[in-house]
DNA sequence: CAATTCATCGCAATCGGTTTCATTCTAGCA
DNA sequence: TGCTAGAATGAAACCGATTGCGATGAATTG
């Protein structure tokens, strides 16, 4: 009869069966050279035989390291975040880290809860794209950063902090490039569907639009710009509204692919041809851009690279001994314009 | 000077500051009535003041319960899974459970690793949509199920097991309903783009197609059906292939929205009108179905409901004392046809 | 042959909470 | 006043793995 009480095998069970001590079993399973090769193999064989399942949280408790990364994103089912997470997982896998993903649903309150939860689960580092509501968790993040806790922000980062360890793309440059592309195609009256301006990503895309227009000596007035609340809907209404204005736009740079696509839809309903009558370019390079017709030009944010770099930096912050080795600067990636049918030459 | 060694506060630190014992602090924080109200409030105030962060894994280790659910899906960025996870999180939140999400990337080997990882993390239950490669982990799942471990499968479930605790939709019924809808619109020559037949979900959609065709007395031959490997690509080629055959189809039921959309694209490139010249209906009701034009009819799989039910059942399996309370049956949800433009009347 | 080195392994403390059992103290009652 | 019930808290074992230190014994060296 075995001495086991429950169904799960522990190193003590293995040790008992083999007439060894749990510490030896632990060392053997960790390939510690202090244990003879013979014993190591014996232990491993027995572990397999007894269907041993290591208890990671016990090890984490003792070691003070869980080898786990916590990730918080607004919503898991937005393809951008999905791809960022893919990049994170790739690097984490490589470095022997696990990944726990949580959703804030764009609520900074829930985001705060998630931070607490993940820290309670003893994650070694945190990767966060902050919620897009109007709240913030500046106090919390300020405390975490200055305590030296490995944390990396990406995409949408807390704006008003002095030092923010983050991986972002140059949205202003992206907005500039998208607009410049339209200008290069010969369009002059270019409108911009911008996102909520309290979010710096949308603000920067808008500024980039202004940069390009100014550089080309093109006019921008109140009628050139329209703000959309949620980037999911309103694209149709927004387009109709823009189309009513005089002079009518020849091209539209939308801060989101969603509103660009629904804008194109509204355009087609009005009997307009894209891009002949009205050209479009979006932002984010969503996968469905290839599926709609005409296919939608957009600005790629390099999500996978973003995830990889953010993870690498976080892991570096975890594994480096020196506290000052913490990557605390703001790494900026360059976006790329992806040209498709919707922004063809005028 | 404080007695703290590190920066994180423990219940022992709080106890020391208050001249109490750690056990009292623990009880106080858990609202245990054995502790006087005065002490409870004192402890809570001190905990707040000292910025105490409970260590969940220590508690989990001792209690043998982590209040965490593990979820494994092929890929997080597929909107179907995103929505299932949303449903899972809703129910988990309600019941005070955390959720850890992992991706198998459709590799059953990686899926197995994830199961090990999550069990090592001491999750109390597992929710899995199995990888769509040709492998399986039948031995592993058989063992888990018969050991009474709370596990629930959803969407794509291990086929050849006797008893599978699962929440699925009736794919056969869905395939039938989609085909029936096309028939009701007056189409007679209806082709089917089917998915890999070793996966029962695709097999069942195909069977449902056959059911409807047979019921209506319509002919199905080798030319009516075409198999697509990856549901992401090949939609265009597949359509072109189908269009070459004689007689040409009037309508297409595709087992995936992706291939339906790219099929529509190929159709338009050939100068065909949808649905006048060729009608389409897909499966899965992806969000982009609303964005493409014409909008794509599809079959909704009720992902949120699926997630909610799967989570509820898993949690029930965890919290119920009786081992035989485990929900081990196969719960079947009914899919719903969502009619849009692509399948208009002939 | 005695002394020393090194490989191998056991003992026990430890991580941070939880929980059982014991202890202290106060209030209530005869 | 003396005794007891019950409220409040403390002491210590415990969850499962890790690890510093010490013990054992064999091998090596002078």
pLDDT by position in tens, chain B (length 346): 333 344 789 999 999 999 999 999 999 999 999 999 999 999 999 999 999 999 999 999 999 999 999 999 999 888 899 999 999 999 999 999 999 899 999 999 999 999 999 999 999 999 999 999 888 899 999 999 988 899 999 999 997 787 899 999 999 999 999 999 999 999 999 999 999 998 899 999 999 999 999 999 999 998 899 998 765 567 888 999 999 988 899 999 999 999 999 999 999 889 999 999 999 999 999 999 988 889 999 999 999 999 999 999 999 999 986 656 678 899 999 999 999 999 987 6
pLDDT value at position B5? 40
What does the pLDDT average to over A15-23? 96
Integer Rg of chain B from CA: 26
Pairing type for strands B68-73 and B98-103 reads: parallel
User: Is the pLDDT at A268 greater than 80, yes or no?
Assistant: yes
Nearest-Cα residue of chain A relative to residue B98:
A117
Chain B neighbors of A77, CB-CB under 8 A: 76-79, 81-83, 85-86
Q: DSSP letter at A199?
A: S
Taking C1' of C17 and every protein CA, the nearest residue is B59
Give yes or no for B273 touching A (CB within 8 A).
Answer: no
Between CA B213 and C1' C27 the distance (Å) reads 84
Q: Is the pLDDT of residue A213 over 70?
A: yes
Which tokens in the block code for residue A6? 């429950």
3-class state of residue A151 by DSSP: strand
In the structure encoding, which two tokens stand for residue A85, read together? Answer: 């997470």
Distance CA(A80)–CA(A13), nearest Å, equals 46
B281, B342 Cβ separation under 8 angstroms: yes
Q: Where are the domains of chain A?
A: 11-54, 67-169+303-332, 171-301+337-343
At residue B230, the pLDDT reads 67
CA distance B183 to chain A (A): 27
Cα–Cα distance between B309 and B315 in angstroms, integer?
10
Question: What are the start-end ranges of the E strands in chain B?
Answer: 68-73, 98-103, 125-128, 151-154, 166-169, 190-194, 225-227, 251-254, 279-281, 298-300, 330-333, 336-338
Same fold, B66-168+303-332 and B171-301+337-343: yes
* The pairing of beta strand B166-169 with beta strand B151-154: parallel
List chain A residues with CB under 8 Å of B122: 55-57
Domain A171-301+337-343 indexed as CATH 3.40.50.2300 = yes
Angle of CA points B82, B196, B206, to nearest 5°: 95
Q: A125-128 and A68-73 as β-strands: parallel, antiparallel, unpaired?
A: parallel
Looking at the predicted structure, is the pLDDT value of residue A170 above 80?
Answer: yes
Q: How far lies B183's CA from each of B121, B220, B285, in Å?
A: 51, 13, 20
Whether A291 sits inside 8 A of B288 (CB atoms) is yes
Separation of CA A321 from chain center: 27
Structure tokens at A183: 């200008």
> Percentage of chain A surpassing pLDDT 70?
95
Helix (H) or strand (E) holding B328: none
Which residues in chain B are contacts of A87 at CB distance < 8 A? none
Identify which of A100, A103, A122 has the shortest CB distance to residue B100: A100
Side-chain half-sphere of A95: how many Cα atoms within 13 Å? 25
Nearest-angstrom CA–CA distance, B334 and B343: 21
Tell me which of 3.40.30.120, 3.40.50.2300, 3.30.1380.20, 1.10.357.10 is the CATH number of domain A67-169+303-332: 3.40.50.2300
pTM as predicted: 0.89
pLDDT (mean) for A241-268: 93
* pLDDT digits 0-9 by tens, A90-138: 999 999 999 989 999 999 999 999 999 999 999 999 999 999 988 889 9
**Quick one: average pLDDT of A292-311?**
96
Q: How far is A109 from chain B (nearest CA, A)?
A: 14
**Token reading at A259:** 């509103």
Cα gap A72→A154, rounded to integer Å: 10
Q: How far is CA B108 from the centre of its chain?
A: 16
Give tens-digit pLDDT for A218-233. 999 988 999 987 655 6
A60 touches strand C (CB under 7 A): no
User: What is d(CA B267, CA A280) in angstroms, rounded to the nearest whole number?
Assistant: 23
Residues in chain A: 346
Distance CA B242, CA B250 (A): 11
| Fold of the CATH domain B66-168+303-332 | Rossmann fold (3.40.50)
What is the pLDDT of chain A when averaged over all its residues?
92
A273-284 confidence digits (pLDDT tens): 999 999 999 999
B316 part of contact set with chain A, CB < 8 Å = no
The CATH architecture of the domain made up of A11-54 is: Orthogonal Bundle (1.10)
């Amino acid at each position: 009869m075995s001495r086991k009480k429950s169904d799960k095998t522990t190193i003590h069970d293995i040790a008992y069966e083999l007439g060894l001590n749990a510490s030896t079993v632990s060392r053997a399973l960790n390939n510690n050279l202090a244990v003879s090769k013979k014993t190591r193999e014996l232990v491993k064989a027995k572990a397999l035989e007894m269907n041993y399942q290591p208890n990671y949280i016990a090890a984490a408790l003792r070691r003070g390291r869980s080898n786990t990364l916590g990730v918080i994103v607004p919503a898991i089912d937005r393809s951008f975040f999905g791809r960022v997470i893919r990049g994170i997982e790739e690097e984490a896998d490589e470095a022997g880290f696990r990944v726990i993903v949580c959703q804030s649903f764009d609520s900074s309150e829930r985001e705060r809860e998630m931070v607490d939860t993940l820290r309670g689960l003893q994650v070694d580092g945190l990767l966060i794209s902050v919620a897009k509501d109007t709240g913030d968790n500046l106090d919390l993040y300020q405390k975490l950063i200055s305590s030296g806790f490995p944390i990396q922000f990406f995409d949408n980062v807390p704006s008003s902090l002095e030092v923010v360890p983050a991986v972002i793309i140059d949205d202003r440059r992206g907005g500039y490039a998208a607009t410049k592309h339209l200008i290069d195609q010969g369009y002059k009256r270019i409108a911009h569907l911008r996102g909520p301006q309290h979010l710096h990503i949308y603000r920067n895309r808008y500024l980039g639009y202004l940069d390009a227009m100014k550089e080309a000596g093109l006019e921008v007035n109140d009628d050139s710009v329209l703000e959309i609340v949620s980037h999911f809907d309103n694209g149709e209404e927004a387009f109709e509204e823009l189309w009513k204005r005089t002079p009518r736009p020849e091209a539209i740079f939308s801060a989101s692919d969603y509103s660009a696509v629904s804008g194109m839809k509204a355009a087609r309903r009005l009997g307009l041809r894209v891009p002949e009558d009205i050209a479009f370019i979006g932002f984010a390079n969503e996968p469905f851009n290839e599926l709609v017709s005409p296919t939608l030009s957009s600005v790629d944010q390099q999500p996978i690279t973003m995830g990889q770099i953010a993870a690498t930096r976080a892991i570096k912050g975890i594994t480096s001994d020196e506290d000052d080795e913490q990557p605390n600067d703001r790494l900026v990636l360059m976006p790329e314009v992806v040209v498709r049918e919707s922004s063809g030459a005028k």
